[in-house]
Amino acid sequence: MKKVSVCGKGGSGKSTVVALLARGVRDRGYRVLVVDSDESNPGLYRVLGFDKRPEPLLGLVGGKKKVFQTFSEEPESSKSILTQEKIRVADIPGDYIVERDGIGLVCIGKILQSLEGCACPMGVLNREFLKRISLQKDEVAVVDMEAGIEHFGRGVEASIDSVLVVTEPSFDSLELTEKINTLAAEVGVERVWTILNKIGSREIASRLREELEERGITVIGSIGYEPEIFQSGLEGRPVRRDRMETDIGRILDQLL
Protein backbone atom coordinates (compact mmCIF):
# COMPACT_ATOMS: atom_id res chain seq x y z
CA MET A 1 0.00 0.00 0.00
CA LYS A 2 1.66 3.19 -1.17
CA LYS A 3 -1.21 5.34 -2.41
CA VAL A 4 -4.63 4.51 -1.06
CA SER A 5 -7.78 6.34 -2.05
CA VAL A 6 -10.74 6.42 0.35
CA CYS A 7 -13.99 6.69 -1.61
CA GLY A 8 -17.70 6.39 -0.97
CA LYS A 9 -21.06 8.07 -0.76
CA GLY A 10 -21.27 11.53 0.76
CA GLY A 11 -21.63 11.26 4.53
CA SER A 12 -20.50 7.62 4.67
CA GLY A 13 -17.57 8.55 6.89
CA LYS A 14 -14.63 8.89 4.49
CA SER A 15 -12.89 11.67 6.41
CA THR A 16 -13.25 9.85 9.73
CA VAL A 17 -11.84 6.67 8.19
CA VAL A 18 -9.00 8.66 6.61
CA ALA A 19 -8.09 10.15 9.98
CA LEU A 20 -8.27 6.79 11.76
CA LEU A 21 -6.21 5.08 9.05
CA ALA A 22 -3.64 7.88 8.91
CA ARG A 23 -2.98 7.68 12.63
CA GLY A 24 -2.98 3.87 12.55
CA VAL A 25 -0.53 3.70 9.63
CA ARG A 26 1.70 6.29 11.37
CA ASP A 27 1.66 4.21 14.56
CA ARG A 28 2.98 1.27 12.55
CA GLY A 29 6.10 3.21 11.62
CA TYR A 30 5.22 4.96 8.38
CA ARG A 31 5.18 8.63 7.54
CA VAL A 32 1.77 9.51 6.17
CA LEU A 33 0.78 12.14 3.62
CA VAL A 34 -2.95 12.82 3.72
CA VAL A 35 -4.25 14.36 0.49
CA ASP A 36 -7.48 16.32 0.93
CA SER A 37 -9.14 15.90 -2.46
CA ASP A 38 -12.63 16.89 -1.41
CA GLU A 39 -13.36 20.34 -2.79
CA SER A 40 -16.29 20.90 -0.43
CA ASN A 41 -15.65 19.72 3.13
CA PRO A 42 -13.58 22.26 5.03
CA GLY A 43 -12.72 20.45 8.27
CA LEU A 44 -10.30 17.57 7.58
CA TYR A 45 -7.39 19.49 9.11
CA ARG A 46 -9.26 19.62 12.43
CA VAL A 47 -10.19 15.94 12.32
CA LEU A 48 -6.46 15.26 11.94
CA GLY A 49 -5.60 17.50 14.88
CA PHE A 50 -4.06 20.45 13.01
CA ASP A 51 -4.92 23.99 14.04
CA LYS A 52 -4.69 25.44 10.53
CA ARG A 53 -5.31 24.19 7.02
CA PRO A 54 -2.60 24.20 4.35
CA GLU A 55 -2.81 26.55 1.37
CA PRO A 56 -4.51 24.72 -1.52
CA LEU A 57 -2.09 23.33 -4.12
CA LEU A 58 -4.28 24.99 -6.75
CA GLY A 59 -2.56 28.19 -5.64
CA LEU A 60 0.71 26.87 -7.11
CA VAL A 61 -0.80 27.12 -10.59
CA GLY A 62 -2.22 30.57 -9.94
CA GLY A 63 -5.70 29.49 -8.90
CA LYS A 64 -8.75 29.68 -11.09
CA LYS A 65 -8.56 33.41 -11.64
CA LYS A 66 -5.25 33.32 -13.43
CA VAL A 67 -5.22 35.35 -16.62
CA PHE A 68 -2.16 36.02 -18.76
CA GLN A 69 -1.59 39.73 -19.17
CA THR A 70 0.57 39.54 -22.26
CA PHE A 71 1.42 36.93 -24.84
CA SER A 72 4.99 36.80 -23.70
CA GLU A 73 4.27 36.46 -19.99
CA GLU A 74 5.50 33.20 -18.61
CA PRO A 75 2.88 31.34 -16.56
CA GLU A 76 3.66 31.36 -12.84
CA SER A 77 2.99 27.64 -12.76
CA SER A 78 5.97 26.94 -15.02
CA LYS A 79 8.17 27.62 -11.99
CA SER A 80 6.20 25.52 -9.52
CA ILE A 81 6.95 22.01 -8.26
CA LEU A 82 3.94 20.79 -10.20
CA THR A 83 5.93 20.82 -13.42
CA GLN A 84 8.36 18.28 -11.93
CA GLU A 85 8.04 14.70 -13.18
CA LYS A 86 8.47 13.50 -9.60
CA ILE A 87 7.50 15.47 -6.51
CA ARG A 88 8.90 14.43 -3.14
CA VAL A 89 7.02 15.32 0.04
CA ALA A 90 10.06 17.42 1.01
CA ASP A 91 9.63 19.48 -2.20
CA ILE A 92 6.20 20.78 -1.17
CA PRO A 93 6.56 24.43 -0.08
CA GLY A 94 5.90 25.07 3.61
CA ASP A 95 2.70 27.05 3.16
CA TYR A 96 1.15 24.17 1.21
CA ILE A 97 1.64 21.41 3.78
CA VAL A 98 1.02 21.15 7.51
CA GLU A 99 2.91 18.43 9.36
CA ARG A 100 2.97 17.02 12.86
CA ASP A 101 3.89 13.72 14.50
CA GLY A 102 4.56 11.87 11.27
CA ILE A 103 1.43 13.01 9.45
CA GLY A 104 1.40 15.66 6.71
CA LEU A 105 -1.68 17.19 5.09
CA VAL A 106 -2.00 18.81 1.67
CA CYS A 107 -5.16 20.15 0.07
CA ILE A 108 -5.88 20.17 -3.66
CA GLY A 109 -8.41 23.03 -3.66
CA LYS A 110 -11.76 24.18 -2.35
CA ILE A 111 -14.80 25.81 -3.90
CA LEU A 112 -14.81 29.17 -2.14
CA GLN A 113 -17.63 31.24 -3.65
CA SER A 114 -20.80 30.92 -5.63
CA LEU A 115 -20.62 31.16 -9.43
CA GLU A 116 -16.87 30.48 -9.48
CA GLY A 117 -17.34 27.65 -11.98
CA CYS A 118 -16.73 23.94 -11.89
CA ALA A 119 -14.13 21.88 -10.07
CA CYS A 120 -12.44 20.53 -13.22
CA PRO A 121 -9.06 22.17 -12.57
CA MET A 122 -9.02 20.58 -9.11
CA GLY A 123 -9.75 17.19 -10.62
CA VAL A 124 -6.87 17.49 -13.08
CA LEU A 125 -4.52 18.81 -10.42
CA ASN A 126 -5.51 15.95 -8.12
CA ARG A 127 -4.82 13.37 -10.84
CA GLU A 128 -1.45 14.90 -11.75
CA PHE A 129 -0.35 15.40 -8.13
CA LEU A 130 -1.15 11.80 -7.24
CA LYS A 131 0.69 10.62 -10.35
CA ARG A 132 3.78 12.68 -9.63
CA ILE A 133 4.07 12.37 -5.86
CA SER A 134 7.07 10.12 -5.29
CA LEU A 135 6.91 8.26 -1.99
CA GLN A 136 9.83 6.76 -0.08
CA LYS A 137 9.66 3.20 1.25
CA ASP A 138 8.43 4.38 4.62
CA GLU A 139 5.84 6.80 3.24
CA VAL A 140 2.16 6.17 2.51
CA ALA A 141 -0.36 8.55 0.94
CA VAL A 142 -3.98 8.39 2.08
CA VAL A 143 -6.40 10.30 -0.14
CA ASP A 144 -9.68 11.70 1.18
CA MET A 145 -11.49 11.61 -2.16
CA GLU A 146 -14.47 13.75 -3.06
CA ALA A 147 -17.82 12.04 -2.53
CA GLY A 148 -19.36 10.05 -5.34
CA ILE A 149 -17.75 8.86 -8.55
CA GLU A 150 -16.94 11.86 -10.72
CA HIS A 151 -13.24 11.44 -9.94
CA PHE A 152 -13.24 8.14 -11.83
CA GLY A 153 -14.41 10.01 -14.93
CA ARG A 154 -11.38 12.26 -14.52
CA GLY A 155 -8.93 9.34 -14.25
CA VAL A 156 -7.79 10.36 -10.77
CA GLU A 157 -7.34 6.74 -9.67
CA ALA A 158 -4.89 5.93 -12.50
CA SER A 159 -1.91 6.02 -10.13
CA ILE A 160 -3.65 4.68 -7.02
CA ASP A 161 -2.56 1.30 -5.60
CA SER A 162 -5.58 0.58 -3.41
CA VAL A 163 -9.13 1.88 -3.33
CA LEU A 164 -10.98 1.63 -0.03
CA VAL A 165 -14.72 2.12 -0.23
CA VAL A 166 -16.50 3.24 2.93
CA THR A 167 -19.97 1.70 2.99
CA GLU A 168 -22.73 2.64 5.41
CA PRO A 169 -25.97 0.69 5.90
CA SER A 170 -28.08 2.22 3.15
CA PHE A 171 -29.29 1.10 -0.26
CA ASP A 172 -27.62 4.02 -2.02
CA SER A 173 -24.32 3.27 -0.33
CA LEU A 174 -24.48 -0.39 -1.41
CA GLU A 175 -25.28 0.60 -4.98
CA LEU A 176 -22.47 3.14 -5.06
CA THR A 177 -20.02 0.66 -3.56
CA GLU A 178 -20.74 -1.76 -6.38
CA LYS A 179 -20.35 1.01 -8.95
CA ILE A 180 -17.03 2.11 -7.47
CA ASN A 181 -15.75 -1.47 -7.58
CA THR A 182 -16.60 -1.65 -11.27
CA LEU A 183 -15.08 1.74 -12.10
CA ALA A 184 -11.90 1.07 -10.11
CA ALA A 185 -11.41 -2.26 -11.88
CA GLU A 186 -11.87 -0.52 -15.25
CA VAL A 187 -9.13 1.97 -14.35
CA GLY A 188 -6.86 -0.96 -13.45
CA VAL A 189 -6.73 -0.66 -9.64
CA GLU A 190 -5.92 -4.18 -8.40
CA ARG A 191 -6.89 -3.80 -4.76
CA VAL A 192 -10.44 -2.58 -4.22
CA TRP A 193 -11.71 -3.22 -0.72
CA THR A 194 -14.68 -2.18 1.34
CA ILE A 195 -14.91 -1.05 4.97
CA LEU A 196 -18.30 -1.09 6.65
CA ASN A 197 -19.02 1.99 8.75
CA LYS A 198 -21.72 3.07 11.23
CA ILE A 199 -22.51 -0.56 12.00
CA GLY A 200 -25.03 -0.75 14.86
CA SER A 201 -25.29 -4.50 15.34
CA ARG A 202 -23.87 -7.85 14.28
CA GLU A 203 -27.06 -8.51 12.33
CA ILE A 204 -26.57 -5.36 10.25
CA ALA A 205 -22.92 -6.26 9.66
CA SER A 206 -23.83 -9.79 8.53
CA ARG A 207 -26.54 -8.58 6.21
CA LEU A 208 -24.26 -5.97 4.62
CA ARG A 209 -21.45 -8.48 4.20
CA GLU A 210 -23.82 -10.95 2.53
CA GLU A 211 -25.21 -8.30 0.21
CA LEU A 212 -21.74 -7.14 -0.78
CA GLU A 213 -20.24 -10.60 -1.16
CA GLU A 214 -23.11 -11.55 -3.44
CA ARG A 215 -21.99 -8.66 -5.62
CA GLY A 216 -18.39 -9.95 -5.58
CA ILE A 217 -17.16 -7.22 -3.25
CA THR A 218 -14.44 -7.86 -0.66
CA VAL A 219 -15.08 -6.53 2.84
CA ILE A 220 -11.91 -6.16 4.94
CA GLY A 221 -13.25 -4.55 8.07
CA SER A 222 -16.01 -2.90 10.00
CA ILE A 223 -16.28 0.16 12.24
CA GLY A 224 -19.05 0.27 14.79
CA TYR A 225 -21.72 2.89 15.37
CA GLU A 226 -19.71 4.80 17.94
CA PRO A 227 -21.17 7.84 19.73
CA GLU A 228 -17.60 9.15 20.09
CA ILE A 229 -17.30 9.44 16.29
CA PHE A 230 -20.46 11.56 16.11
CA GLN A 231 -19.41 13.64 19.13
CA SER A 232 -15.97 14.37 17.68
CA GLY A 233 -17.53 15.11 14.29
CA LEU A 234 -19.86 17.63 15.87
CA GLU A 235 -17.01 19.31 17.72
CA GLY A 236 -14.56 19.17 14.79
CA ARG A 237 -11.81 17.42 16.72
CA PRO A 238 -9.81 14.20 16.36
CA VAL A 239 -11.76 11.10 17.30
CA ARG A 240 -10.58 9.16 20.37
CA ARG A 241 -9.66 5.78 19.05
CA ASP A 242 -9.85 3.65 22.19
CA ARG A 243 -12.95 1.72 21.20
CA MET A 244 -11.98 1.54 17.52
CA GLU A 245 -8.42 0.26 17.99
CA THR A 246 -9.36 -3.37 17.31
CA ASP A 247 -11.48 -2.53 14.25
CA ILE A 248 -8.80 -0.31 12.73
CA GLY A 249 -6.07 -2.80 13.59
CA ARG A 250 -7.80 -5.52 11.60
CA ILE A 251 -8.17 -3.21 8.60
CA LEU A 252 -4.50 -2.21 8.77
CA ASP A 253 -3.45 -5.87 8.94
CA GLN A 254 -5.01 -6.28 5.49
CA LEU A 255 -3.77 -2.99 4.08
CA LEU A 256 -0.11 -3.01 5.09
* Alpha-carbon gap, residue 119 to 115, rounded angstroms: 11
Q: How many CA atoms lie within 13 A of 212 on its CB side?
A: 32
Print the binding letters for residues 199-228 with another protein: x by CB under 8 A, - otherwise. Answer: ------------------------------
- Total number of residues that touch another protein (CB under 8 A): 24
Q: In what order do the strands lie in the sheet with 31-37?
A: 98-100, 103-107, 31-37, 139-145, 3-8, 162-167, 191-199, 219-224
Of 154, 179, 191, 250, the one binding another protein by CB under 8 A: 154
User: Does residue 59 belong to the site contacting another protein (CB under 8 A)?
Assistant: no
Dist. CA 222–CA 230, nearest whole Å:
16
Instruction: Give Cβ neighbours of residue 59 (< 8 Å, ≥ 6 apart).
Output: 96
Dist. CA 130–CA 229, nearest whole Å: 29
| Span of 11-19, 74-82, 174-182, 242-250 interacting with another protein by CB under 8 A | 74-82
Task: Work out whether 82 is an interface residue with another protein (CB under 8 A).
Answer: yes
Q: Which of 55, 38, 54, 22 is nearest to 151 (CA)?
A: 38
- Integer Cα distance of 37 and 54 in angstroms: 13
- Site for another protein (CB under 8 A): which residue of 17, 19, 47, 61? 61
Min CB(187)–another protein separation in Å: 15
Residue 156 CB coordination number (10 Å): 27
Q: Is 121 in the site for another protein (CB under 8 A)?
A: yes
Assess 183 for contact with another protein (CB under 8 A).
no
Site for another protein, residues 124 to 143, rule: CB under 8 A: 124-125, 128
Min separation Cβ 142 and another protein, Å: 23
CA distances from 127 to 111, 130, 151, 186, 239 (A): 17, 5, 9, 16, 29
256 lies in the site for another protein, by CB under 8 A: no
Q: Which stretch binds another protein (CB under 8 A): 123-131, 168-176, 196-204, 231-239?
A: 123-131
Q: Which of residues 83-112 bind another protein (CB under 8 A)?
A: 83
Least Cβ distance, residue 242 to another protein (angstroms)? 43
Interface positions with another protein (CB under 8 A): 61, 66, 68, 71-72, 74-80, 82-83, 117-118, 120-121, 123-125, 128, 153-154
